[in-house]
Amino acid sequence: MVSKELRVNRQRLQSTLQEMAKIGATPGGGVQRLTLSDEDKQARDLFVKWLKELDLEVAIDEMGSIFGKRAGKNNDLAPVMSGSHIDSQPKGGRFDGILGVMGPLEVLRTLDENNIQTERPIIIVDWTNEEGSRFAPAMVASGVWAGALDRDWVYGRTDINGKRFEDELIRIGYKGPVPAKKWPVHGYYEYHIEQGPLLEREGKIIGAPRGILCLHWYDVYLEGEANQVGPTPMAGRHDALCAAAEMILKVNELPERMGGNMVATVGEIQNYPNSRNIIPDKVHFTVDIRSWDDDHALKAWELVRRDFENIAAGRGCPIKIEETWRVEHSPFDEKMVQRILDIAQELGYSSLHMVSGAGHDASYMNQVCPTAMIFVPSIGGRSHVEVENTRWEDCEAGANVLLQAILQSANEK
């Protein structure tokens, strides 16, 4: 049963989100807080300040993730956790990730002002580098914490300017002393905007995903032969960008060729020397394949990889492929998912049982403990862009569901 009278403070939640949106604000109304940037540090500092105002036990681990612990009646019991991320995409939105950190912060503020003590401790977390836009792959901090990724491998990852993850972590002062190693967790809730059109299209307020699609990331490197464009005949050219263009179209065609049930995207490309009158001799691009069926995604990759090799050979452009990251699809805990649906109904919010097409730290938390997510609509289905938006009343609704879900889990003995 839900506590009918207990609700979050919508105005405070809105104010907190707006305060965070000032950090790294872009002219188009979005935010740019790339992982381990000065803007990321500024947002982290503000978050830690707010945690300390609640007298939470604050800890920072060696991956830079920030944990705030609220004591329970029995601190020997495994805690309930909730969180997401503060970092953003380049010119990203002001709700993606940060709603999942400010949401549980508002939950803890609500419990505090109402003098509510739970049986179990509650931990709020900001995971470092969920986006993976500056340092690939994504979700590295939760991946290391869960034991799925090697810490030193992540430390050595570099951005486009050659800066190392570990060095930047130290630079902003957030390489903490606590080992990034999992501990027993009773349950994990992640609150997020949907980042897609389904909830809005169906006219629903609360989404309860049954899980997250698998995510496969690949990096493709091509070598061609540079030359002055004017005197060099078209016949016999080894144009790395032309080879990449053919490959990119193959990626776009891949879901249809595989009969659906997947998406495939090239989202990043670097062309060298990137001069209008020089034939490109180097190209790097990324491939992102997602599906609920892991085997289906792997078969799709094998198909398009053969296409890549044939195109590279035909163009005379040697190819190197790096399998950067692979996360299997994540079916969430059915009991926790049903709890979210039940709470939504009791609070009078319409809901939808769905699937998440975006990756989240919940994928790795799902390998450690029972996990579930709470979605609210993205206006126009837009995300990872400056125009990303969600209604304040929907933010409030999702936070109210999160409040009740955390209360129920944290009072289980």
pLDDT tens profile 173-186 = 999 999 999 999 99
Single-letter code of the amino acid located at 407: L
User: In terms of residue numbers, what domain contains 318?
Assistant: 214-327
Single-letter code of the amino acid located at 262: M
The CATH number assigned to the domain holding 230 equals: 3.30.70.360
2 lies in some domain = no
The CATH number assigned to the domain holding 166 equals: 3.40.630.10
> By percentage, how much of the chain surpasses pLDDT 70?
99
Distance separating alpha carbons of residues 153 and 254, to the nearest angstrom: 31
Q: Where are the alpha helices (DSSP H) in 1-37?
A: 10-21
Q: What is the pLDDT of residues 248-295, one digit of tens each?
A: 999 999 999 999 899 999 999 999 999 999 999 999 999 999 999 999
Q: 190, 83 in Cβ contact below 8 A?
A: yes
Averaged pLDDT of the chain: 97
Q: How confident is the model at residue 5 (pLDDT cuts 50, 70, 90)?
A: confident
Q: Is residue 196 over pLDDT 90?
A: yes
What domain count does the chain have?
A: 2
Q: What is the pLDDT of residue 359?
A: 87
Distance separating alpha carbons of residues 307 and 287, to the nearest angstrom: 13
Predicted TM-score of the model (pTM): 0.89
Torsion of CA 159, 163, 168, 169, to 10 degrees: 60
Q: What is the pLDDT of residue 2?
A: 60
Q: Which of 1, 66, 89, 80 is nearest to 339 (CA)?
A: 1
Q: Is residue 215 over pLDDT 80?
A: yes
Strand 319-327 with 269-272, pairing: unpaired
Q: How confident is the model at residue 1 (pLDDT cuts 50, 70, 90)?
A: low
Same domain, 266 and 299: yes
Q: How confident is the model at residue 155 (pLDDT cuts 50, 70, 90)?
A: very high
Q: What is the pLDDT of residues 319-369, one digit of tens each?
A: 999 999 999 999 999 999 999 999 999 999 999 999 998 889 999 999 999
Residue 290 per-residue DSSP state: E
Last residue of a domain, one of 293, 327, 361: 327
Last residue of a domain, one of 266, 301, 327: 327
Residue 326 phi, psi dihedral angles, 5° rounding: -150, 125
Q: 30, 388 in Cβ contact below 8 A?
A: yes
Q: What is the pLDDT of residues 231-248, one digit of tens each?
A: 999 999 999 999 999 999
Same domain, 112 and 156: yes
| Neighbouring residues of 196: CB distance < 8 A, sequence distance ≥ 6 | 357, 358, 378, 381, 383
Per the listing, tokens 């190197």 go with 320
Same domain, 21 and 123: yes
Q: How confident is the model at residue 197 (pLDDT cuts 50, 70, 90)?
A: very high
Q: What is the pLDDT of residue 239?
A: 98
Same domain, 62 and 186: yes
Distance separating alpha carbons of residues 56 and 51, to the nearest angstrom: 6
In the three-class reduction of DSSP (H, G, I as helix; E, B as strand; rest coil), residue 284 is classed as strand
Same domain, 243 and 196: no
Q: What is the pLDDT of residues 63-106, one digit of tens each?
A: 999 999 999 999 999 999 999 999 999 999 999 999 999 999 99
- How many residues can be counted in the chain? 413
C-alpha radius of gyration, the chain, whole number: 23
Quickly list DSSP for 112-181.
HHTT---SS-EEEEE-TTSS-SSSSSSSHHHHHHTTSS-HHHHHT-B-TT--BHHHHHHHTT---SB---
Same domain, 177 and 320: no
Torsion of CA 18, 21, 27, 32, to 10 degrees: -170
Quickly list DSSP for 354-386.
EEE-S--THHHHTTTS-EEEEEEPPGGG--SST
